[in-house]
A = this chain, B = another copy of it.
Amino acid sequence: MQEEIFELIEGKKYARLRELLSDMNPADIAQILEDVPERELPVIFRILPKELAAEVFVEMDSEMQQLLIEAFSDTELREVMDELFMDDTVDIIDEMPATVAKRILSQTDAKTRKMINQLLAYPDDSAGSIMTTEYVDLKKNMTVDQAFDRIRNVGLDTETIYTCYVIDQSRHLLGIVTVKDLLLNEKSRVLSDIMDENIIYANTLDDKEEVAGQFEKYDLMALPVVDKESRLVGIVTVDDAIDVIQDEATEDIEKMAAILPSDKSYFRTGVFSTFKARIPWLMLLMISATFTGAIISSFEEKLTIFPALIAFIPMLMDTGGNSGSQSSVTIIRGISLGDIEFRDIFKVIWKEVRVALCCSTALAAVNFVKLWLVDYLLLHTFDPGKQIPEILVVCFTLLLTVIVAKFIGCVLPILAKRIGFDPAVMASPFITTIVDAISLFIYFRTAILILGI
């Protein structure tokens, strides 16, 4: 398929190309156009039927969009923009350099421009920033038949027709009517009798992640958004909610791995941008790890007396780090999904401490048996008279470290969230460093106590 298209482009067989592309899905066309040479792009774009062209345009990444806009005449630009839904227009303008954005705005009428500027003003993470302003609004005294007439009139230009919004004269939201309701009711019934007044809605400034969560919880197709005066100003559709869910998951994963989140896909991010996203945490964590080094330094002389203790440092640090991140990651995800809130903190601690007791006992026991069986009975590298105290130190440290690591791992994200920080940022990258320092501290204190050094 892809090869055939490239051959047609090569051979400039545009009539056949148009025919072929017209049957394809916008998302697939946009994907194919990514591999087309830049100078060919405007030509191929122009042969697409007008409506399809706009749909393909929306699916493109912002670099390709900018390239096309710069190649467009004013008329072409206006034609494409006229076909777009408001939320897509705003997204595109948001990504463009100021001059390009200005040119786009200059091609829209005053009313649209005002609307766009209003939408652009909503904070990036708000419901307002992902909503669209094209929806079907109805009046409560309309009949089912009248409602269908209105849907037929405005439906082509709205993002969804299946959920319609019943509003009063000041645009206050009164109820919701679905096309299913309309189809299953008598044509003469009045909307106020059949509309659902138990509405799930969002405010323009609500967090978009929470809004996406509502789609999941209530299995919604669309969600109305109201302003401070409870007037309907837009709707969020399920496709945008899915994008938010995916983006937020990616963002959480990036933060947990000590990366500054980016909103572009892997290959779209340049080497320098990737570097900039990764180096701040690497730097911070490297510097904070020198404190762990300081703990070792202060214990240096004693370590030269018991050099065998050095070999256990990586195992204790890693096991502590892994135990801590297991807890923190579980809790962070639970917070993201709305399963865990601040009031659950003691419930969480109680659970994590019991899990930690099981884990640490099992780990310490296996470690003890391993040292005894393998190192002593099998390899004979182990001198029971001298080293049993050392092994006790290691096992006891393991026991304590895992418990402390899991405690910190579960408490830190919840506290971070409570004081308004992002749990994924505040908790996850730091866990390893904090747990490293603590596990070494426990290790050396235990050594001093048991070995009497």
Give the interface of A toward B (CB within 8 A).
23-25, 27, 148, 151-152, 155-156, 161-162, 179-180, 183-184, 198, 200, 215-219, 221, 238-239, 241-243, 245-246, 249-250, 252-254, 256-259, 265-267, 271-272, 274-275, 278-279, 281-283, 285-287, 289-290, 292-294, 296-297, 300-301, 303-304, 307-308, 310-315, 317-319, 321-323, 325-326, 329-331, 333-334, 337, 339-340, 344, 347-348, 351, 354-355, 358-359, 362-363, 366-367, 370, 402, 429, 432-433, 436, 440
How close is A274's CB to chain B, nearest CB, in angstroms?
Answer: 5
Known: A292-B315, A293-B314. A322 touches B281 (CB 8 A): yes
Instruction: Please state if A289 and B318 are interface contacts (CB–CB under 8 Å).
Output: yes
Instruction: Please state if B329 and A278 are interface contacts (CB–CB under 8 Å).
Output: no
Interchain CA distance A216-B59 in the complex, whole Å: 11
The secondary structure that dominates the A interface is helix
CB-defined A-B contacts under 8 Å, sample of 9: A246-B337, A254-B330, A267-B344, A278-B323, A282-B359, A283-B362, A286-B315, A286-B319, A321-B321
Q: Which residues of B contact A292 (CB under 8 A)?
A: 314-315, 318
Q: Which residues of B contact A363 (CB under 8 A)?
A: 279, 282-283, 286
Interchain CA distance A291-B378 in the complex, whole Å: 16
Interchain CA distance A184-B151 in the complex, whole Å: 9
Copies of this chain in its oligomeric complex: 2
How close is A302's CB to chain B, nearest CB, in angstroms?
Answer: 10
Interchain CA distance A287-B218 in the complex, whole Å: 45
Interchain CA distance A303-B258 in the complex, whole Å: 31
Instruction: Please state if B351 and A274 are interface contacts (CB–CB under 8 Å).
Output: yes
Known: A215-B242, A283-B363, A326-B257. A311 touches B289 (CB 8 A): no
Partner of A217, one of B27, B279, B293, B311: B27
The closest CB in chain B to the CB of A159 belongs to B219
Q: Which residues of B contact A252 (CB under 8 A)?
A: 253
Interchain CA distance A161-B198 in the complex, whole Å: 22
